[in-house]
Amino acid sequence: MPSKRDDTFRILAPDGTVDEKAKEGLDLKEEDLRQMFRFMVLARKVDLECTALQRQGELAVYPPLIGQEAAQIGSAYALGDEDFIFPSYREMGAAIVRGVDLVDYMHFHRGTWHGGVRDPVGARFAMISVPVGSQMLHAVGWAMGTKFDGKEACAITYFGDGATSQGDFHEACNFAGVFKAPVVFFCQNNHWAISVPIEKQTAAPIWKKAEAYGFPGVRVDGNDVLAVYKVTREATERARAEGIPTLIEAVTYRLGPHSTADDATRYRTKEEVDRWHELDPLERYRQFLEAEGVADQSFVLEVEAEAEDVAATVRAGIQGAPPPPVEDLFKWVYSDVPPHLARQRDEALGLLEEGEDG
């Protein structure tokens, strides 16, 4: 639970040292600890690769997640197989944990496909959601439906600090509270909603808003993967077992711009960004792993080499990838192709009969 000093729960100090009391009950095996590191490195590597791909004209736009790896990997790693992720548009790290096909995922950013996930229900990872905060309601609905079926599963929905200003945030929390929906509201407070800082977004701490909806709220150090894992694990268990939602505020920082189309130097100082670079979640975790003897230099090199390979695979897959055939677009609007759409399809495909000049 949150430490007394600043209400923020933390296991790893920025220098990688451990708060043993906070760590109590952490149920991770050594292989899990290594796997989370593997995912974090992979997320960092693919994220940088995608920024590069955007600069090379292969992606239309890309929203970097650099700096938020611990928040995403730690939370997603805490989920069970049946749990369902409802992301916003910056959750590539969570997608990696879920095993989402990264080339499919990048089709969204390339502008060759919309959703980023071709079978959301199968993948237990909903499509990328751009209207800010709107996906929270889907998580609540799915969680309610799952509870109706008596299944032991919960939903987790990701959103940023800016999304907490949306009406949908309030409606989703309120519904979850009223219906005791097994859902975890995972807010990555990365301090910036494009150019608007958190101070201008809300006058109250985000995690405290939970109280008004009748369920617990937690603030966690979002750059501490173990702390994130632990609070999320507890939240999912509460959700599945008792139908108690949780609002988690993971305090982290968006080291990159809002998107590749953004120029963050217009609204924040280099000093601020540098300060957060020193709190890099990967470095903190690596120090911990090496200090604990769970990983060594060679493991780190091996993991980085693996990540290079995956990044190369994503690059190869997305480079020059074509959009879907135009004909397919017409098939996907409805379960069938109604007459008015069939006409438009025929027109698009140039199948209309010639002539009939007026």
Partner 1 sequence: MAERVFNMPDLGEGLEDAEIVEWKVSEGDTVKLNQPLVDVNTAKALVEIPSPFAGKIVKLHGADGDVVKVGDPLITIDVEGAGSPAATPVEPEQAAGEEAPRREAVLVGYGVNPEDAAKRNRPRLRPPGERKAPAAGAGTAPSPGALSSAPSPGRVAAAPPVRRLAKEMGVDLTGVHGTGPSGRVTREDVIKAAGTERPAAAGAEPSMVMPSFAGPEERIPVRGVRRMIAQKMARSWAEIPHVTTFHLIDATQIEALRRELTTQSGIKVTALSVVVRALAEICREHPKLNSSYDTEAGELVLKKACHVGIATDTEQGLVVPVVRDVGDKGIVTLAREIADLVGASRERTATPEQLTGGTITVTNVGTFGSEFGTPIINFPEVAILAIGTIKPRALVVEGEIEVRSAVTLSLSFDHRVIDGAEADRAMSAVRNLLESPFRLGALPRE
Partner 2 sequence: MAEVTMAQALNEALRFSLSDDDRVLILGEDVGKLGGVFRITDKLQAEFGEQRVFDTPLAESAIAGVSLGLTQAGWRPVAEMQFEAFSYPALDQVISHIAKYRFRSAGTTEVPMVIRIPCGGGIGAAEHHSESPETYYAHTSGLKVVIPSTALDAFNLLVRAIRDPDPIIFFEPKSRYWSKESGDLVPDGLPIGAARVAREGQHCTLVAWGAMVARCLEVATAAAEDGVELEVLDLRSLVPLDLDALAASVQKTGRAVVVHEAPLTVGFGAEVVARIVEDSFDYLEAPVLRVTGYDMPYPPAKVEEHYLPSVDRIFHAVDRVLSH
69-108 residues in contact with partner 2 (CB under 8 A) are 84, 86
Catalytic residue among 10, 107, 219, 254: 254
Q: Please, which residues bridge with residue 50 across strands?
A: none
The gap between the terminal CA atoms of the chain, to the nearest Å, is: 76
Task: Pick one of partner 2, partner 1, none as the site partner of residue 282 (Cβ within 5 to 8 A by kind).
Answer: none
318-357 residues in contact with partner 1 (CB under 8 A) are 355-357
Q: Please, what is the minimum distance in Å from the beta carbon of residue 131 to partner 2?
A: 5
Q: Please, what is the minimum distance in Å from the beta carbon of residue 339 to partner 2?
A: 5
Q: How far apart are CA 118 and CA 127, in angstroms?
A: 8
Task: Pick one of partner 1, partner 2, none as the site partner of residue 113 (Cβ within 5 to 8 A by kind).
Answer: partner 2
Task: Pick one of partner 1, partner 2, none as the site partner of residue 117 (Cβ within 5 to 8 A by kind).
Answer: partner 2
Structure-token pair, residue 98? 């879920």
Alpha-helix runs per DSSP H in the chain:
20-23, 30-55, 69-77, 92-98, 102-110, 120-123, 135-148, 167-179, 209-213, 225-242, 270-277, 281-292, 297-318, 326-331, 339-348
172-201 residues in contact with partner 2 (CB under 8 A) are 172, 174-175, 178
Q: CB–CB of 155/185 below 8 Å?
A: no
Local structure of 206: helix, strand or coil: helix
Local structure of 305: helix, strand or coil: helix
Q: Tokens 């792993």 label which residue?
A: 289
Q: Please, which residues bridge with residue 183 across strands?
A: 155
Backbone φ, ψ for residue 294 (5° rounding): -80, -30
Q: CB–CB of 205/251 below 8 Å?
A: no
Q: Tokens 């939903």 label which residue?
A: 155
Phi-psi region of 320 (alpha: psi -120 to 50; beta: other; left: phi over 0): left
Q: Should residue 358 be labelled a site residue for partner 2 when binding is judged by CB under 8 A? A: yes
Residue 107 annotated as catalytic:
no
Q: Please, which residues bridge with residue 18 across strands?
A: 12
Task: Pick one of partner 2, partner 1, none as the site partner of residue 246 (Cβ within 5 to 8 A by kind).
Answer: none
Q: Number of residues in contact with partner 2, rule: CB under 8 A?
A: 52
Q: Which region among 16-24, 45-53, 87-95, 164-172 touches partner 2 (by CB under 8 A)?
A: 164-172
Structure-token pair, residue 270? 């280099």
Q: How far apart are CA 173 and CA 212, in angstroms?
A: 9
Q: Should residue 118 be labelled a site residue for partner 2 when binding is judged by CB under 8 A? A: yes
Task: Compute, in degrees rounded to 10, the torsion defined by CA atoms 81, 85, 90, 91.
Answer: -10
Q: Should residue 143 be labelled a site residue for partner 2 when binding is judged by CB under 8 A? A: yes
Task: Pick one of partner 2, partner 1, none as the site partner of residue 140 (Cβ within 5 to 8 A by kind).
Answer: partner 2
Q: Should residue 214 be labelled a site residue for partner 2 when binding is judged by CB under 8 A? A: no
Q: Burial letters for 38-48: b for 16+ Cβ neighbours within 10 Å, e otherwise?
A: bbbbbbbbbbe
Q: Please, what is the minimum distance in Å from the beta carbon of residue 105 to partner 2?
A: 13
Task: Pick one of partner 1, partner 2, none as the site partner of residue 355 (Cβ within 5 to 8 A by kind).
Answer: partner 1
Q: Which region among 41-49, 63-71, 122-130, 225-233 touches partner 2 (by CB under 8 A)?
A: 122-130
**Contact pattern from residue 5 through residue 44 relative to partner 1, giving x for each residue in contact according to CB under 8 A and a dash for the rest:** ----------------------------------------
Q: Please, what is the minimum distance in Å from the beta carbon of residue 349 to partner 2?
A: 18
For 272, residues 6+ apart whose C-beta sits below 8 A from its C-beta are: none
306-335 residues in contact with partner 2 (CB under 8 A) are 324, 328-329, 331-335
Catalytic residue among 109, 233, 258, 284: 258
Residue 343 annotated as catalytic:
no
Q: Which residues are catalytic?
A: 254, 258, 267
Residues interacting with partner 2, by CB under 8 A?
84, 86, 113-115, 117-122, 126-127, 129-131, 134, 136-146, 148-149, 155, 167-168, 171-172, 174-175, 178, 324, 328-329, 331-335, 338-341, 343, 358
Residues interacting with partner 1, by CB under 8 A?
355-358
